[in-house]
Structure 1
Amino acid sequence: MLIHGAWQGAWAFAAWTPLLAARGWVPHAVDLPGNGWGATADAPADLARYTQQVVDVIDGIGEPVVVLGHSGGGITASQVAEALPDRVLAVVYLAGMMLPSGLSYGELVRDAAAEAPGEDFAGITPYLEWNASRSHSRVRPDGALRCFVHDCDAAAARDAVGLLRPQPETGRDMRNHLSAERFGRVPRLYVECSDDRSVLPALQRRMQRLSPGAQRLVLDVGHVPQLAQPALLTALLCPALEMLVPSRSPSSSPSQEMP
């Protein structure tokens, strides 16, 4: 299960899914409600609806899955693990927002800035433009090129920037509600992106300290490794994931693809 971040859609994983399929996985990328894509493009957006959208897809699959959240999609990934701890084999955070229960990403940034005056944790924020009611934000193209896709192929970067859509604030300023009994028993992997200009590496490491227990992998890449370096991401993540959930390893069931 591949869950996109803010301003994006299922298209954000298009360059990576063929490599996952070649590895033996069956990737399912979802369009979250209210994010401008798919059948629920204009639906209300919030964490409960995001979670239900993913749960519905998992129900349709009918077997356990690995859930991956990129960037802000990490919040939804965590909540799905809380909802379905017996059906989520593992959660992967791809430069993802792995937040403790009750803490928003904005609060995480403010706390980090208070502890390190003078350091810049703003990421994409200076490049956001808002509608009159401030209910939706959009990313300026120059900001997307600088913070999201600066290390991607130039043509692919331009294409990705052109696909960004306005993001409902109700689907961005979110807080998890997690328990040790449910979320806490699901294995986790954190893919830290050391050249990330959006979810800055210092913030990625802060989230790992605040939510300990995730296995850490590091890529020297920017915010969207699934576009910038999909082969490198596959080579790093898949073996670690297959060791974490060995019952789903391609070598253990060579004739069966994995969701």
Structure 2
Amino acid sequence: MDIILVPGFWLDASSWDEVTPPLVAAGHRVLPLTLPGLEAADAPRAGIGLRDHIDAVVAAVDSIGGPVVLVGHSGGGAIIHGAVDGRPDKVVRAVYVDSGPLAEGGVISDELPAEGDEIPLPPWDGFEDADLVDLGEELRAAFRARAIPQPRGVAQDQQHLHDQRRYDVPATVIACEFPSAMLTQWIAAGHPYVVELARIHDVEYVDLPTGHWPQFTRPAALGAAILAAVDR
């Protein structure tokens, strides 16, 4: 199976390096993406929006031609959902890593502090404690050293969706910061955070207790969870 890996904010393709070995060992082909504006710290980010990142994932799907699994971490969840909407006949499963699908008209985050056309990685005290579970000082330093400013438009642009067949694509949610029990409670209560997730016909939940960056804090376990989802 071809597996496209989409990183979250401030990260490039290399952020998946410690996650991919079990996928490759199982015979799958992995394609970690570096999205537009994340090529380097000094890459141009003006004018890059959410649709540009979705289009980059759709182009990767089209380049493969056959069926694919999409994996998206954090803000990458909104991006792969846009790609599922664009190619519902080619995506056989969407895997949301501490993330979920973003509904029509939603934005990934309009609260992150921007500097011109970009959003630098904020100070650690700008995150919730639950985000930072298992992310010790050494991992924090390594993350900050590799962090690339995020294009502002990707965080603030509205999601636009068109194809109801996106709800037929099976999904796996790998729940880290917010456990699956909380997500299902939110769905039952009609919480707006999970309104799009509630519409997907086939969703499985896998708990991976850690903070918001399991590719750094529990990479082997994350790789195993993705592998199990792909094999289904």
Letter in 1 for 2:87: L
More moved, 92-101 vs 220-229: 92-101
Q: 2:145 maps to which residue? A: 162
TM-score scaled to structure 1, two decimals? 0.72
CA distance in 1, matches of 2:23, 2:125: 29
CA distance in 2, matches of 1:64, 1:155: 38
Letter in 2 for 1:35: L
Q: Is 1:194 the equivalent of 2:177?
A: yes
Q: Is 1:225 the equivalent of 2:208?
A: no
Letter in 1 for 2:62: D
Gaps in structure 2 of 5+ consecutive residues: none
CA distance in 1, matches of 2:183, 2:65: 38
Q: Quote the offset at 1:236 in angstroms.
A: 3.0
Identical amino acids, percent of aligned pairs: 27
Q: 1:130 maps to which residue? A: 114
Q: 3-state SS of the aligned residue for 1:172?
A: helix
- 1:112-191 to 2 correspondences below 5 Å: 129-131=113-115, 133=116, 135-143=117-125, 150-152=133-135, 154-179=137-162, 181-191=164-174
Q: 1:240 maps to which residue? A: 229
Q: 2:69 maps to which residue? A: 66
Q: Find the partner of 2:26 among 13, 23, 26.
A: 23
Q: Output one character per residue of 1:119-152: Cα deviation in whole Å (capped at 9) or x when no partner.
A: xxxxxx6xx6532x4x322123434896755414
- 1:200-219 to 2 correspondences below 5 Å: 205=186, 206=191, 207-212=193-198, 213=200, 214-219=203-208
CA distance in 2, matches of 1:150, 1:194: 8
- 1:35-74 to 2 correspondences below 5 Å: 35-37=38-40, 41-42=43-44, 44-74=47-77
Confirm or deny: 8 A CA contact 1:195 1:221 kept in the other structure. no
Structure 1 segments, 4+ long, off by >4 Å, are: 143-150, 201-206
Letter in 1 for 2:148: R
Q: 2:99 maps to which residue? A: 96
Residues 219/209 of structure 1: CA separation in 2 closer, same or farther (3 Å cut) = farther
What is the root-mean-square deviation in Å for CA atoms of aligned residues? 3.0
Q: 2:16 maps to which residue? A: 13
- 1:248-259 to 2 correspondences below 5 Å: none
Equivalent residues, number = 217
Gaps in structure 1 of 5+ consecutive residues: 108-124, 244-259
Q: Quote the offset at 1:184 in angstroms.
A: 1.8
Q: 1:34 maps to which residue? A: 37
TM-score scaled to structure 2, two decimals? 0.79
Residues 202/186 of structure 1: CA separation in 2 closer, same or farther (3 Å cut) = closer
Confirm or deny: 8 A CA contact 2:18 2:220 kept in the other structure. no
Confirm or deny: 8 A CA contact 2:98 2:177 kept in the other structure. no
Residues 202/58 of structure 1: CA separation in 2 closer, same or farther (3 Å cut) = closer
Q: Quote the offset at 1:190 in angstroms.
A: 1.1
Q: Quote the offset at 1:172 in angstroms.
A: 0.9
Letter in 1 for 2:119: S
CA distance in 2, matches of 1:148, 1:53: 27
Asked which structure has the greater CA Rg, the reply is 1
Letter in 2 for 1:137: I
Q: Quote the offset at 1:179 in angstroms.
A: 4.1
